[in-house]
Structure 1
Amino acid sequence: MSDLGPPVDWQGCEVDCAGCAHQDLLEQERCGIGHACVHDRYAKRIDRFFFWNPERAKDYLAHPYFEVRAVAAKYVDVFHLPQLTRDPDETVRWSAALRLPPKHLLALVCDPHREVRIRVASRLDPHDLGLMIHDPDYYVRQVVARRIPESLLTQMMRDEDAEVRHMVASRIGDDWLPGMAQDKDAAVRCEVAKRMKPGQLHLLLDDPDWRVRYEVASRAERNHVKRLVNDADELVRDAARQRLGKSAAGVSLLVTQKQAFPF
């Protein structure tokens, strides 16, 4: 009979079918103690009850046990979902957020629980995501940066979190990439370098990270690549010399002479 333990309700009392209001369902074998029961403590059994009887979900949206309300939110018709945005338990609001029509998700944009806001950011209409650009949670902002229209990404270029800025750098328009060339995080600058047009890469010639300079050496315009033939990093030097072909040796010699006789 039991797959998760003895059948007790959310208060620890033994579940008894005798006083249950769902005698009709019991007779139709649409519920069963220890298997599919809305009064059970375990969410799996509650879920099975509503899976078999979704029409009963609307009757349990104010049940005192949060698991019942959260599971009911999975099965109730969408017209009853908006009332759950005000539920005191984040699990219920989180469950509702997975199915709420987009316009009703706005009520949860400033929800106190990050898991709820993450779901909201994942489903909200992209043009409404500007409301979440300054969310206090870094992962919420990552989701926002992944989905927000490109026209609004410029507002996130200076986000305090490097992962958020990395996402911005991977999507922002080409004309805005130079504005991120001096980002303090090397991984962000690497992403910027990978997306920059050859004519923009000279902005990263003196980058302190060899991975960025390697990208410059590999794709920048030839007249800028010359500066990297004697780079401190071997891979960068090789990439620059390979780009310049036979002229690399001459350029290397010229650079050496300039270093030896700066005047």
Structure 2
Amino acid sequence: MDHEHDAPPAGSDYTPPENPCAQCELREDTLAKGRCGPGDACLFVYSGRQIDRFLARNPEWAELCLDDPFWERRAIAVRYAPQEAAMRLENDQDEVVRRAVAIRAEGEVLRRMARDPDREVRITVATRMAPADLPRMMRDADYGVRIHVARRLPHGQLPQMVDDPDPAVRKEIARRLPAFALGKLAGDPDPEVRALAAGRMLPDDAARLLDDPEWLVRAAAVQQAPLDTLAAVLNDPEPDVRLLAAERLGAANDSA
């Protein structure tokens, strides 16, 4: 949905009155107490900044705004309304409103919003959902959602994502998998994923990647492989890989 910030809804014939405060129903109470003001904090203008300032000072008005026709007024009201009331908008027609709901949602509401059609809403859910509930989002259609899942998924369930179709997701898995499980990524089709895995693998697993076709992977494996496997690497076709192997062997000899 396209938004026109600081503007009335499309098709509206709204025209701000010349002296809005003089005609405002709040002039004798809220305005008189200094809790609102023209150009600063006003509930009735089409300005997110002013609406937010008003509701921050007068949160008792927020629940009344949850059914407002202006999407931005609803979205801001969600921040200040009582939580139970704000959850009524979990299926609001506007994705920005639903994102605001997701930021405050908990429990079953948050679990339901994992199926929201908007990716940003689902990303918000993935960053807030209890880790034990995240497996339901492992196969989300959007890789951006799955990246956030991979960052928070319990370690025991990370192996279920090693075959994710997007390399960016698999890189997150390679960064978090326990060392003993990284061998599952030794055959990954993306060399950057293999390199990340090789740099954290158990030594014997890393040794199996010393002859990987990509020098980046071999260089990472050199850092983890057992010392007695590095002699052959001194003949690697890539100078940087040979140098890394020589440095490790030299350091080992110096400390012997």
- With normalisation by structure 1, the TM-score equals 0.85
**Displacement of 1:96 after TM fit?**
1.4
1: CA distance between counterparts of 2:111 and 2:7?
38
Match of 1:154 among 159, 172, 181: 159
Tell me the amino acid that sits aligned with residue 16 of structure 2. E
Equivalence for 1:22: 26
Aligned to 1:225: 230
Q: Residues 67 and 8 of structure 1: is their aligned pair in 2 closer, same or farther, counting only changes over 3 Å?
A: closer
Is the aligned partner of 1:136 residue 2:141?
yes
Q: Displacement, 1:216?
A: 2.5
**Does structure 1 conserve the Cα–Cα contact (< 8 Å) formed by 2:180 and 2:202?**
no
Aligned-pair CA distance for 1:227? 2.4
Alignment-derived partner of residue 106 in structure 2: 101
Instruction: Indicate whether 1:119 and 2:121 are aligned.
Output: no
Q: CA RMSD in A?
A: 2.1
- From 194, 200, 205, the equivalent of 1:189 is 194
User: 1:233 Cα shift?
Assistant: 0.7
SS at 2:244 equivalent: helix
Structure 1, unmatched stretches of 5+, are 1-6, 249-263
**CA 182–31 in structure 1, closer or farther in 2 if over 3 Å, else same:** same
Write the distance in 1 (CA, Å) between the matches of 2:157 and 2:25: 53
Residue correspondence of structure 1 range 1-263 to structure 2 within 5 A = 10=9, 11=12, 12-15=14-17, 16-23=20-27, 24-245=29-250
Bigger Cα Rg: 1
How many pairs were matched up? 241
CA positional deviation for 1:101: 2.4
Report the Cα distance in structure 2 between the residues aligned to 1:155 and 1:70, rounded to whole angstroms: 36
Deviations 1:32-77 (A, max 9, x none): 2332111101101111110110111011100000010001011112
Q: 2: distance between equivalents of 1:236 and 1:218?
A: 10
TM-score (norm 2): 0.87
